[in-house]
Structure 1
Amino acid sequence: MNAIFLALVVIAFTTAALRELRSTDPEERPMADLSEGAVEAAGAAVELALGLVGVMALFLGLMKIAEAGGLLTVLARLLRPLMVRLFPDVPPEHPAMGAMILNFSANILGLGNAATPFGIRAMQELEKLNPHPGTATNAMALFLAINTSSITLLPTGVIALRASLGSEDPAAILPTTLFATLFATVAGITSALVLQRWFRPPAATREIPPGGLDDPDAEADPAGDRRSDADRDTEPGEQPQPMNIEVPAEGYPAWVSILVLLGVLAIIPLTIIYGQAIAPWIIPGLVVGFLTYGVIRGVPVYEVFVEGAKEGFNVALRIIPYLVAILVAVGMLRESGALGMFVGLVGPWTTPFGLPAEALPMALLRPLSGSGAYGIMAGIMQDPATGPDTHVGMLVSTLQGSTETTFYVLAVYFGAIGVKRVRHTLAAALSADAVAVVAAVAIVAWLYL
């Protein structure tokens, strides 16, 4: 992200400087416009974050009720029959299985705060089953491929941003995000399973007992780096936090999981066909649904909601520096004229395929940096010409909700256990990202173009 941020600012400065030196019109002042654009973008970033505080508090408060009511555990039990088939090398009762299930469940609900610590815990447990330390196993590669492409039912952060920017239907991206992430997950699983045949692991360097290495001191880090999770760099909304959630020892019967999966698949065409009629009901339905669920589960809904809202408040404030950095860089790029040049060059090639040039930087930056992509998305939807409910606004919202910061996830998760040889993990994860972009472009073009 350092290189990207610097490159955007330098390109903007260079473009404006060349225009200033070549200009013969005294009324044209590219460098002055560049200065004004940087200051205005910084102020707009803070205003955006402050406007996001209330909506983020609302959604994280509701999700806290769902979490306290055991919804993550319900999802974990539903996923368990599928997981034991996808990961035959992991014993069903091993802690790694439970941590992976909870990670996927948190991602499905859009709970980035919960997903990250579960994911790191899963990698640490998978390392206990690793016969060749320092090299990713097939289970690790498959886990991260699914992690970066996970099916998402509730992209709460994106919905909150759309609502704060005055979208008429903030939840209109639910069907498009579900569609894109479903295809991405299938692509990630398929890529990982196919590629593992070509990327053979080295010979085993240690023997692993059937239950794994239970001794915590056996988690040797070949790189000598055993920093705690809290010491590692994180993206906005993905800060590892301690969770105290019961890991289910067994799942629901397979037929129950199959019925639920078929139900999820059935939701996609229904939301696509009746999406415009359903969209106004989604947010009120979520509020009533989560509160009712909490009451039924015996959750003190008011106190828990307030606790979650506090987290939402902190998340909204924590992203201000990230938004200022990226929106200033993008604002300078826009005022310098460089962004307009880029749009003019690339637009004719990508627009016929449903990917406007305005959205292309978002698609390219998303695998590299969540904060950078979030800032570009916010900047695009703040622009009156490309507001949250236009085709471009819907597309960048869907891209944000259906793709992942792949390089960041791999760096943090593999760094937590000292793995340097990632084998086919990156290829599988990027394949899922590519499919997510194509699926998002296709579904948004079909529905909103």
Structure 2
Amino acid sequence: MNIIFLAIVLIAFATAAWKQWHFVPSEAQGSGPMELLSSGMVASATGAIELAIGLVGVLALFLGLMKVAEEGGMLVIIARLIRPLMVRLFPQVPANHPAMGAMILNMSANGLGLGNAATPFGIRAMQELDKLNPRPGTATNAMAMFLAINTSGVTLLPAKVIAIRAAAGSADPAGILPTTLFATVVSTLAAIAAAWWVQRYFPVGQATAHELAMARPWVSDTAAGTATDDAGPTAALLEDDRAYPAWVCWLAMLGLLLAIPATIVWGRAIAPWIVPGLMVSFLLFGWARGVRVYEAFVEGAKDGFQVALRIMPYLVAILVAVGMLRASGALDVIVQALAVFTAPLGLPAEALPMALLRPLSGSGAYGVMSAIIHDPTIGPDSYVGYLVSTIQGSTETTFYVLAVYFGAVQIRRIRHTLLAALTADVVAVVAAVAICSYLFA
């Protein structure tokens, strides 16, 4: 991550410096390249803090619900239901560990297009995975696999993209459901293969005394609590390593598969019910399991503020670097250079900025997509309109995800995570071009 961060900053600075050297001040041109770069840096830093503060409420809400689910044993129950699949994807994680359930909830939330609502589930999954981490500050194979799947995750309902297409006057705003599903399935398979293949070339290594001394409250609090707290439902399930009958597990996975066509058919009707339904179901589950739901919710919500504080420096670093890349004009130069090669392959110059910006900036990518589909010469139902909508719905803001999730557990050495995640992003774009060319070109 050090090399990536430094490279982005140096490319942006060099581009702005070159433009400044050839800049001739005039009233028509306005601010010079270096002034634009400076203002872009300040705006990005401010935006990073505003984003982190904006996440506090979402983090508090869903981490509170996660605490209720955890105390009721929901995470372990979910992990045991999907055990046959998860133990193959994450062989280093005990089959009944709460990390399994948290990861499944995160993947499910992403699949339903819940956006920021999926982030607290992912952060809890990272905290649980870090409890199994033999080298604090370094990503484990399970963390790398989880984030690779997270950035590529199968998307059943890209609700926000559908809403933007509807606002742009699309005759079929939900027409991207099959294209998005195809692209995300292919990219998820690529992410899993990439994470498995390259992990051998990035060994974890031995932990140093400094790393072992790192303050990790999400780990130390649990360790301290296990000696004094009464064993609750989660502890009892963890001690019981027996799996559910095979038919129960396969029935659960069949239900997940059946959710795919159900979401395509009834997705727009289901979408408004998802978040309220999650809150009601989590609280009722906790109450039925004997959890004091109000106290547990408040206890979990407290973590939202601490997590937001931990991720702020990471967000500032990555968003300032991305802001510099955009403000300097370096991104435009890269687009112009690549468009010559990508246009004959089905990725025209109009859509290329979308493919390049999506892993860097979620808000920037939404802005580009909105501008393209509102352009009267293109429109939402053209080939380019379907393509940019599919790319938006089938790829993730990779650098943001890595900054937030790794920042939440103070991971600095990310090993092969970025390589696997970017592989998934590239494959998602290729798959989006292929399916849109087949259906709409």
| TM-score bin, normalised by smaller chain | 0.5 to 0.7
Counterpart AA for 1:250: R
Correspondence for 1:10: 10
Correspondence for 1:266: 258
Correspondence for 1:133: none
For residues 101 and 174 of structure 1, the distance between their equivalents in structure 2, rounded to whole angstroms, comes to 33
The number of residue pairs the alignment matches comes to: 373
Shift of 1:328: 2.1
For residues 73 and 318 of structure 1, the distance between their equivalents in structure 2, rounded to whole angstroms, comes to 27
Correspondence for 2:111: none
For residues 222 and 331 of structure 1, the distance between their equivalents in structure 2, rounded to whole angstroms, comes to 34
Correspondence for 1:116: 126
- Greater mean alpha carbon deviation, residues 315-324 or residues 74-83: 74-83
Question: Does the 8 A contact of 2:153 with 2:185 survive in 1?
Answer: no
Pairing 1:321–2:316 present = no
Cα 1:9–1:435, aligned 2, differ >3 Å: closer, same or farther? closer
Residues 271-330 of structure 1: per-residue CA shift (max 9 Å, x gap): 123222221221121122212222222222211111222112222232222222222222
Find the partner of 1:50 among 37, 49, 53: 53
Residues 237-276 of structure 1: per-residue CA shift (max 9 Å, x gap): x976755643241011000111110100111122123222
Residues 80-103 of structure 1: per-residue CA shift (max 9 Å, x gap): 45567889xx8xxxxx66267543
Equivalent position SS for 1:274: helix
For residues 440 and 284 of structure 2, the distance between their equivalents in structure 1, rounded to whole angstroms, comes to 33
Counterpart AA for 1:377: G
Residues 165-195 of structure 1: per-residue CA shift (max 9 Å, x gap): x9999xx9999998777655655667789x7
Pairing 1:41–2:26 present = no
For residues 105 and 74 of structure 1, the distance between their equivalents in structure 2, rounded to whole angstroms, comes to 7
For residues 150 and 369 of structure 2, the distance between their equivalents in structure 1, rounded to whole angstroms, comes to 31
Matches within 5 A, 1:155-304: 186=189, 223=206, 225=208, 231=214, 243=222, 245-246=234-235, 247=238, 248-304=240-296
Q: CA RMSD in A?
A: 5.3
Correspondence for 2:229: none
TM-score by length of 1: 0.62
TM-score by length of 2: 0.63
Correspondence for 2:75: 72
Residues 147-172 of structure 1: per-residue CA shift (max 9 Å, x gap): 455589999xxx9xx8xxx9999xx9
Q: Which runs of 5+ in 1 are unaligned?
A: 91-95, 126-139, 200-220, 367-372
Matches within 5 A, 1:147-158: 147-150=146-149
- Greater mean alpha carbon deviation, residues 222-231 or residues 243-252: 222-231
Q: Which runs of 5+ in 2 are unaligned?
A: 107-120, 168-173, 227-233, 375-379
Counterpart AA for 1:107: M
Correspondence for 2:327: 335
For residues 153 and 426 of structure 1, the distance between their equivalents in structure 2, rounded to whole angstroms, comes to 12
Cα 1:316–1:26, aligned 2, differ >3 Å: closer, same or farther? same
Aligned-pair identity in percent equals 44
Pairing 1:357–2:352 present = yes
Higher helix fraction: Structure 1 or Structure 2? 2
